[in-house]
Structure 1
């Protein structure tokens, strides 16, 4: 029987604190991928001399957990990541240091110490806004109404394993159209429940095309405004870090 290899070197120091970070993807950085951000964050953590906790084993890696990243090409005001450290750090100092070390457009908005409760369990829905230039609001309203009237609207998206067909309508909690303040474009605001597979803004756009032949003259600018606990009664999304700030994990 082959002998099991034992990792060499000392056991890494244990994590004593977990921090949850909210950051934004803005401007041209909306085209950065999750992998791009991972590399940028790890460089920023080293540059800021953050005492990162590492996994044990033959290939130690920093204890970083990424949660439900927005698709490449979409902007976001509500991306989340968790890091574990071997020495206690001040959340606000960490926020400022990481924000300074990351490129403009990847902006660290908030850092809190994690309380009990999994962050992933709180990310139940997202609040999105899609901005359409050169599209009449009436066309967008008609398409939104048509989608909401359906019980089921299936779309097909190419996954890594091949094409997959799934229902979009069930995930859409609310969908409203309105003119922009300067009347130069039409705005579509939507709250979408997180499902498996995840229903993305481009899936909703495909569904609108299917039920109402919606054909925007140019691709919309898409921004995630929030993600967190779904407030069903009001069709809104709450702050997932509120429980950490309040000191409980509920």
Structure 2
């Protein structure tokens, strides 16, 4: 048996595809590629596939991670060659890495995510930088998500502004992933007084704890 970690991009065509549908697409692609998926034990065996961290709808990514267990110890190059043509448009396989069978589940290893939000309309960059500095200076940022109160501020690890063409800067933010709450880029944009629908948001890096 082998455990394989796939790092892949989820592009613009799939920005509104749910995480459940992404899971199903990967299961179908692995089957189509003829790879020997391993299954869980019990009365209702399921393919042993795990996603690292749910991606909010409307956001693309260059760093999604999915792990799968295969019954046969195949060369990584053969796995990638079989899988690439089986993946539908909108997915791009970037890396294929072996993982120790006894390593923790990847979803327990995610510490934080870095997002980049490119603003689609020009804004006053100096004013935006000032708002970002003021936000970081706040001791707390009380929020409510689906009826649950939480503090956004400790979830913002870093926040910076990149100058852009035509007065359209990008916002870089590293947001913590915790059991109690996970930082979401659209909530940071709202806290900055921006409309999330007027920004092209992308996850650019997943930061994992030491395995």
Task: Specify the structure having the higher radius of gyration (Cα).
Answer: 1
Is 2:172 the partner of 1:189? yes
**Whole-angstrom distance in 2 between the partners of 1:123 and 1:111:** 18
Which of 146, 149, 155 is residue 143 of structure 2 equivalent to? 155
Taking the aligned partners of 1:169 and 1:96, their CA distance within structure 2 comes to: 43
Q: What is the CA RMSD across the aligned residues, in angstroms?
A: 1.9
2:46 paired residue number: 61
User: Which digits, 9 at most, give the CA deviation of each residue in 1:126-169, with x for residues without a partner?
Assistant: 111011122232232122111101011011112xxxx1111111
**Is 2:158 aligned against 1:179?**
no
Indicate if the aligned counterparts of 2:84 and 2:93 stay in contact, CA closer than 8 A. yes
The number of equivalent residue pairs is: 207
- Greater RCO, CA 8 A, separation 6+: 2
Residue 44 (structure 1) aligns with? 29
**Could you say which residue in structure 1 is the equivalent of 2:109?**
122
Partner residue in 1 for 2:98: 113
**Structure 1 spans left out of the alignment, 5+ residues:** 1-15, 209-213, 231-248
Q: Give the conservation status (yes or no) of the 8 Å contact 1:18–1:84.
A: yes
Distance 1:139 1:217, change over 3 A: farther
Partner Cα separation in structure 1 for residue 134 and residue 116 of structure 2: 18
Which consecutive segments of 4 or more residues in structure 1 shift more than 6 A? none
Q: Equivalent of 2:4, from 8, 19, 32?
A: 19
